[in-house]
């Protein structure tokens, strides 16, 4: 199965060692060799780097780490193709502009018959590739369009209402772990996931929150380094599997966690 990773932080931060660890899951240690991608938000825009090749052998990963791309919101994904060819168009995260913001989406799971259930309700969005995941993203954005094209930006509560209802529909189609951001809020939806023993069960995502007011250079744990020059930092992380030896919290099936600037709201 695919691997998901996301960060929301109070101050812009670089994510380093976790990328390396994440890349290792992408082929050297995990069966996820069909592509990888990472989005770093910069305001309402984002850098998006994707490659339809194993992350483990990519020279982008060390470059991205060296280049110190910083963001308050980061979403990353390692792919094992279940539906759709191995190519750039099918590589997560997917992105679209809506309401003057780049929206970013990555999914782990398999949504059976989503074409039949949601393929006619895509608004003006169309998948570029042919994955169930991108189609789900287009359908989600179609639902959110009235909120974002309204004269004033939608409240967090209004956004969550739409996303929760949509996530419920997706869970009926198959495993629907997803990470979604509009550049302001990060939404993490946990479902069930094919575990290491081969069974399909929760947790679909783990969560880790850390705050820091004494270490100006951020966090530096084995397997996970979040670097920041801010003196006060608050970070919330999500991942398919714990990336460090720390006490990651497994999320129950159907749970949606909403994070703004590193703090769960």
Binding-site ranges for a second copy (CB under 8 A): 42-50, 59-60, 63, 66-67, 87-89, 96-102, 123-129, 145, 149
Contact 74, 7 (CB under 8 A): yes
Minimum gap (Å) between residue 143 Cβ and a second copy: 14
Minimum gap (Å) between residue 102 Cβ and a second copy: 6
Nearer to a second copy, 125 or 200 (CB): 125
Nearer to a second copy, 69 or 251 (CB): 69
Contact 233, 9 (CB under 8 A): yes
CA separation, residue 63 to residues 29, 38, 72, 187, 198 (Å): 21, 13, 20, 28, 34
Contact 7, 76 (CB under 8 A): no
Nearer to a second copy, 91 or 244 (CB): 91
Residue 210 to residue 228: CA distance in whole angstroms: 13
Catalytic residues: 2
Nearer to a second copy, 99 or 174 (CB): 99
Residue 226 to residue 152: CA distance in whole angstroms: 34
Residue 149, phi then psi, degrees to nearest 5: -95, 5
Minimum gap (Å) between residue 44 Cβ and a second copy: 5
Which residues neighbour 252 within 8 Å (Cβ) at sequence distance 6 or greater?
Answer: 190, 202, 203
Minimum gap (Å) between residue 127 Cβ and a second copy: 6
First-residue to last-residue Cα distance in the chain: 29
Residue 173 to residue 47: CA distance in whole angstroms: 31
Residue 71 to residue 41: CA distance in whole angstroms: 5
What is the chain's Cα-based Rg? Answer: 17
Minimum gap (Å) between residue 165 Cβ and a second copy: 21
Nearer to a second copy, 39 or 239 (CB): 39
DSSP letter (8 states) at residue 52: S
């Amino acid at each position: 199965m695919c691997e998901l990773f996301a960060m929301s932080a109070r101050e812009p931060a670089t994510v380093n060692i976790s990328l390396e660890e994440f890349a290792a899951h992408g082929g050297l240690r995990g069966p996820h060799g069909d592509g990888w991608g990472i989005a770093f938000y910069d305001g309402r825009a984002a850098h998006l780097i994707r490659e339809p090749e194993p992350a483990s052998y990519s020279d982008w990963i060390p470059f991205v780490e060296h280049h110190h791309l910083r963001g308050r919101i980061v979403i990353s994904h390692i792919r094992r193709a279940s539906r759709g060819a191995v190519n750039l168009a099918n590589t997560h995260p997917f992105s679209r502009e809506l309401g003057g913001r780049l929206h970013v989406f990555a999914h782990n799971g398999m949504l059976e018959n989503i074409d039949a259930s949601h393929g006619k309700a895509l608004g003006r969005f169309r998948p570029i590739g042919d994955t169930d995941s991108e189609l789900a993203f287009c359908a989600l954005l179609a639902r959110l369009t009235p909120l974002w094209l309204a004269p004033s930006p939608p409240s967090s509560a209004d956004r969550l209402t739409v996303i929760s209802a949509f996530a419920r529909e997706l869970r009926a189609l198959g495993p629907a772990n997803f990470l979604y951001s509009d550049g302001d809020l990060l939404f993490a939806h946990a479902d069930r996931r094919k575990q290491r023993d081969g069974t399909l069960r929760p947790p679909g995502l783990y969560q880790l929150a850390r705050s820091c007011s004494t270490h100006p250079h951020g966090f530096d744990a084995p397997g996970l380094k979040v670097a920041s020059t801010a003196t006060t930092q608050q970070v919330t992380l999500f991942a398919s599997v714990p990336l460090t030896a720390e006490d990651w919290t497994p999320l129950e099936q159907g749970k949606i966690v909403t994070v703004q600037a590193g703090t769960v709201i």
